[in-house]
Amino acid sequence: MRGEVDRSGDAAALGELIGRQLPGPGGLYRRLADAIAAVIGSDELPVGARLPAERPLAEALAISRSTVVAAYDELRSRGLVESRRGSGTTVAASAGRGRSGADKRMPTGYGESLFRRITIDPGEVIAMTYAVDPGMPELAGEVEDLARTDLPLLLQGVGYHPRGLQVLRERIADHFAESGLPTTADEIVVTSGAHQAIALTTQMYLRTGAAVVIEQPSWPGCFDLFGAAGGRVVGVPLDDAGIRPDLLAKALAEHQPAMLFVMPTFQNPTGRLMTASRRRQVAELAAKYGVVVVEDNAYSAWDPTGPDIPPPLAAFAPKNAEVLTIGSVSKAVWGGLRIGWIRAPRPLAERLARHKALADLGSPVIDQALTARLLPRLTELTAARAISATERKHLMGQLLTERLPEWRWESPEGGSALWVQLPDTDARMFAQVALRHGVEVVAGRAMDPTGAHDDHLRVPFSYPAEVMSEAVDRLAGAWRELRRHGPAPAVPMI
């Protein structure tokens, strides 16, 4: 699907970078020029980079071509770009004057634009770019009690625990055992969230040119993590039971990947739950072809009326299989509690601990101690949250049915978002129109670069009822504009 991608001249990529900056007062062409100038100023468009042609950029932003023409004229007048017949519009040498050149450019990728937007204040925009719940109310009392009883003892230690606090690793092991996967503390490495866990396994297994097989669609960040390591991503479609075993076997035989990355429990973005029999099939196929399996089970919010959650995929693995299991409390308890973990056979856990030590010497001790307090109650806490999440899921479905009846989706068995299909529409174009209506959504291309899900959106339901209602109202307004009028007309130059 992708290794390194040259995005010079990529209209959709530029649109994703600047889309949030377009809503506001004043001429649209001038706001567009200002937004592109800001990207040039940040060096994400370096000197010599080619800008998209006017028509593709207009289509990506769902605006008129004349607006883009006027914006490019404005940028030329500022000396930021130059145009030459046959070579298009490029960033001018004068735009790079005064820069030190010491700061390295951020890598660009399909998930990078999503993570970049997290760093930007959304202002009046309803940012539906990530599907996370607010912190559990129980956290406040646990933090207060920890400060009174545990903190003095913690402060007597050195504070460096690359493998993780012993008490936390023991309780994570107990949590795995309760889920049907016997585990010891020596098989656990604590990480700063599931994201770091994936990054550490990537460092350990991927080399330049190596293939990694993933589900299609998948989590946006994995494309950039695997691509940064020089990996070559190969996608395998899903069915109702999880990743398709027939196509998985074909991909493993053809590409001989270094790693298989799957999300068996409430896959992101589809929310599907891989069945127990499918988990066994996947584990057996990976063992047959000698492929390491990395399973990410960080999403734990489920529908209490749905099927039971099977044990982790590692519980079904043959003895000769190599399976690493990732978990986290960031999705289940609070995104600000950046504690995750990897379960791996002891020799692999020791290697991962060395990678962890090189990364940061260990995750924050107080966060680990707080997580250790929560682990014995994690199933109870997530069960309570699951009831609330299911209510919000039904409400979001009702709102979309009433106000956007043309849209289609399947109610997921877990997770925090709906995977919505738009009829005959590029979701990236719709996302640009939605931004101008004050709501930001993630288009399917961020989760499947092949183009097979370009007509999909991820619509989270992890918001209060009044926010979801307002967001759907704005989405409905954007949909009416796009369907009735097409791209916005040019704004007169003022």
Check pLDDT > 50 for residue 31. Answer: yes
| CATH, residue 88 | 1.10.10.10
Check pLDDT > 70 for residue 439. Answer: yes
Residue ending a domain, among 379, 409, 436, is 379
The predicted structure's pLDDT at residue 29: 87
Read off the pLDDT band of 123 (50, 70, 90).
low
Clarify whether residues 156 and 97 are in a common domain: no
The mean pLDDT value for 184-203 works out to 96
Return the HEC string of 291-352.
CEEEEECCCCCECCCCCCCCCCHHHHCCCCCCEEEEEECCCCCCCCCCCEEEECCHHHHHHH
Clarify whether residues 367 and 401 are in a common domain: no
Residue with tokens 């991962």: 352
Clarify whether residues 427 and 320 are in a common domain: no
Amino acid at 185: A
Give CA angle at 331 (128, 162), nearest 5°. 130
Mean per-residue pLDDT of the chain: 87
Read off the pLDDT band of 3 (50, 70, 90).
very low
| 41: enclosing H helix or E strand | helix 28-41
Over residues 300-326, the pLDDT tens digits come to 656 667 788 999 999 999 998 999 999
Structure tokens at 379: 């199933």
In whole angstroms, give the CA distance from residue 478 to residue 430: 7
Looking at the DSSP bridge assignments, the partners of residue 408 are 421
Check pLDDT > 70 for residue 278. Answer: yes
Clarify whether residues 169 and 212 are in a common domain: yes
DSSP structure class, residue 333? T
Clarify whether residues 205 and 297 are in a common domain: yes
Looking at the DSSP bridge assignments, the partners of residue 456 are 421
Clarify whether residues 148 and 44 are in a common domain: no
Residue ending a domain, among 362, 379, 396, is 379
> Where is average pLDDT lowest: 108-112, 252-256, 351-355?
108-112
**Position 113 in a domain:** no
| 81: enclosing H helix or E strand | strand 81-84
Check pLDDT > 70 for residue 102. Answer: no
Helices and strands per DSSP (H, E), number in the chain:
17, 15
Check pLDDT > 60 for residue 119. Answer: no
Q: Which of 247, 260, 143 is nearest to 211 (CA)?
A: 260
| DSSP secondary structure, 388-425, as one string | HHHHHHHHHHHHHHHH-TT-B----SBSSEEEEEPTT-
Q: Measuring CA to CA, how many Å separate 42 from each of 12, 16, 111?
A: 19, 15, 18
Structure tokens at 343: 């379960």
Amino acid at 275: T
**Position 118 in a domain:** no
Check pLDDT > 50 for residue 80. Answer: yes
The mean pLDDT value for 113-140 works out to 71
**Position 114 in a domain:** no
Look at residue 289 and give its three-state secondary structure: helix
Those residues whose C-beta lies under 8 Å from the C-beta of residue 132, and which sit 6 or more positions away, are 330, 331, 335, 416, 462
Clarify whether residues 295 and 418 are in a common domain: no
The predicted structure's pLDDT at residue 40: 86
Structure tokens at 444: 């399917």
Clarify whether residues 409 and 286 are in a common domain: no
The mean pLDDT value for 236-250 works out to 98
Read off the pLDDT band of 96 (50, 70, 90).
low
| CATH, residue 481 | 3.90.1150.10
Residue 442: how many other CB atoms lie within 10 Å? 27
The predicted structure's pLDDT at residue 41: 80
Clarify whether residues 340 and 407 are in a common domain: no
Check pLDDT > 70 for residue 116. Answer: no
Q: What percent of the chain has pLDDT over 70?
A: 89
Rg (C-alpha) for the chain, rounded Å, is 24
The predicted structure's pLDDT at residue 129: 86
Interhelix angle 220-228/193-205, rounded to 10 degrees, is: 30
Over residues 282-302, the pLDDT tens digits come to 999 999 999 999 999 987 656
**Position 212 in a domain:** yes
| DSSP secondary structure, 158-209, as one string | -S--TT--HHHHHHHHHHHHHTT----GGGEEEESHHHHHHHHHHHHH--TT
Over residues 374-416, the pLDDT tens digits come to 999 888 888 888 888 899 999 999 999 999 999 999 999 888 9
The mean pLDDT value for 86-97 works out to 82
The mean pLDDT value for 196-208 works out to 94
The predicted structure's pLDDT at residue 292: 97
More confident residue, 442 or 26: 442
Over residues 328-368, the pLDDT tens digits come to 998 888 889 999 999 999 999 999 999 999 999 999 999 99
More confident residue, 60 or 486: 60
In whole angstroms, give the CA distance from residue 391 to residue 389: 5
Look at residue 152 and give its three-state secondary structure: helix
Residue ending a domain, among 379, 406, 423, is 379
Whole-prediction pTM value? 0.83
The predicted structure's pLDDT at residue 2: 41
**Position 453 in a domain:** yes
| 477: enclosing H helix or E strand | helix 465-485
The predicted structure's pLDDT at residue 494: 33
**Position 359 in a domain:** yes
Clarify whether residues 346 and 426 are in a common domain: no
Q: H helices of 317-448, where?
A: 346-360, 365-374, 378-403, 427-436
Check pLDDT > 90 for residue 185. Answer: yes
Burial category of 116 from C-beta neighbours within 10 Å (exposed 0-12, middle 13-18, buried 19 and up): middle
Query: Domain containing 23: what range?
Result: 11-108
Structure tokens at 204: 């350990």
Clarify whether residues 214 and 337 are in a common domain: yes
Clarify whether residues 351 and 289 are in a common domain: yes
In total, how many domains does the chain have? Answer: 3
- What b-and-e string marks burial along 188-205, b requiring 16 or more CB atoms within 10 Å of the CB? bbbbbbbbbbbbbbbbbb
User: How many CA within 13 A on the CB side of residue 441?
Assistant: 36
**Position 77 in a domain:** yes
| CATH, residue 216 | 3.40.640.10
CB-CB contact of 320 with 192 (8 Å): no
The predicted structure's pLDDT at residue 486: 62
**Position 5 in a domain:** no
